[in-house]
Homo-oligomer: A and B are copies of this chain.
Amino acid sequence: MAVRVKLSDVARRARVSAMSVSNYMNGRHGTMTEETRDRIAEAVTVLNYRPDMAARSVRTSKIQSVGLIVVDESPTYLSDGYTTQLVSGLGDALNAKGYTLQLEGLTASRLSASTLIRQRQTDGLCVLPTGSLATRKEIIRTVAGTGQPFVLLLESLPRAWPDACCVLQTDRQGARELARHVLERGARDLVVLKQSHNHWQAVAERQVGIEEAVAQFGEAASLKVTQCGSGDVAATAAALDAYLANARLPDAFMATNDQIGIAVLKYLKARGIAVPGDVLVTGFNAFDFWQFSDPVLTTVRSPGFELGHRAGEAMIERMEKGVFAERRITLETTFQPSETT
């Protein structure tokens, strides 16, 4: 273990006081003799001095770090394309300003045992909640209970919490546009497919958007909703088997994300059902792997990276100015027509 170099070690070598070194390290060398500055610089380099952030934090009560709590039922929560984008964007915004991102993924039931919740080790928290409405409310209350500022991701903010904000995207509008497109293509009998767990508010909004479009269309169109377990290829196939055992092929399958949409495509292809000839299929998100399917899914692009980025910027502004400038930030989704409709 290398010996720990501290401010006073640097000061001794540079023959100045610890305070001068501290000032130097914090960029306050404007008013310093050039010679002093050089001596300090030399000592810092030679001794390979690294400031102890914990000690600094005790003094300044600023930690220069933001926590992200991802509530998810799976330990591989990052394998979700959305989460991945969010983390990238958030990390990018924070790192650019010298903040660190502390990542924690856990199930709703273990949230209250979270180290980010129980201990003060960040300047603020970002949260991606999942679960029933009641569960999500409880998550928000738990986070708010820390007394720290927080940012909700993909979840709208109840009025009750003053020192917080939320970052959302236009899921409902995007889904409505998607459904209208499907209806324009002549589809009348629509089926929504969604996961049976990980209930993000965003997914619920997508379903509502589709429902609105169908309702606006009038009597001629109808909508059913089916769950497809974890949403992977096998679970989706099982769900479709079950569905089609009791019903005839609908005009369109509208999945609440691209993974499910692609699983539907594979299922249909295996059974010789043509897309978009016999049935239309849509997804949602358009992240990376989205274009891997054949045919390529018609979908809606979600600004996941940008959303994380905005959350990070909002948090940084809150830290620097003491208040959140906006309580609610909404980013646009964009319709992405392709080969399956």
* Chain A residues within CB distance 8 Å of chain B: 1-2, 4, 48, 50-55, 57-58, 61, 63-65, 67, 75-79, 81, 84-85, 87-88, 91-92, 95, 98-106, 115-116, 118-121, 145-147, 163, 233, 259, 262, 265-266, 269, 287-289, 291-294, 305
Contact = CB atoms under 8 A, between A and B. Distances in A.
Contacts of A67: 100
Contact of A105 (B50, B95, B98, B293): B95
A68 to B, nearest CB: 9
A100 B92 contact: no
Nearest to A305: B76
B119 A50 contact: yes
A76 B89 CA distance: 7
Contacts of A269: 294
- How many monomers of this protein are in the complex? 2
A266 B289 CA distance: 12
Given A76-B305, A266-B294, A53 B104 contact: no
B95 A50 contact: no
13 contacts: A1-B147, A50-B119, A76-B85, A78-B85, A78-B87, A79-B85, A91-B103, A91-B104, A98-B115, A103-B103, A266-B292, A289-B289, A293-B293
Contacts of A1: 147, 163
Contacts of A85: 76, 78-79
Given A84-B84, A103-B91, A287-B79, A50 B294 contact: no
A298 B116 CA distance: 42
Nearest to A289: B289
A91 B120 contact: no
Contact of A2 (B98, B116, B147): B147
Contacts of A147: 1-2, 48, 50
Nearest to A98: B115
Contacts of A103: 87, 91, 100-103
Given A1-B163, A63-B54, A91-B105, A79 B119 contact: no
Contacts of A75: 88, 92, 305
A48 B265 CA distance: 51
B64 A58 contact: no
Nearest to A295: B294
Most buried by B among A1, A4, A76: A76
Contact of A120 (B51, B84, B104): B51
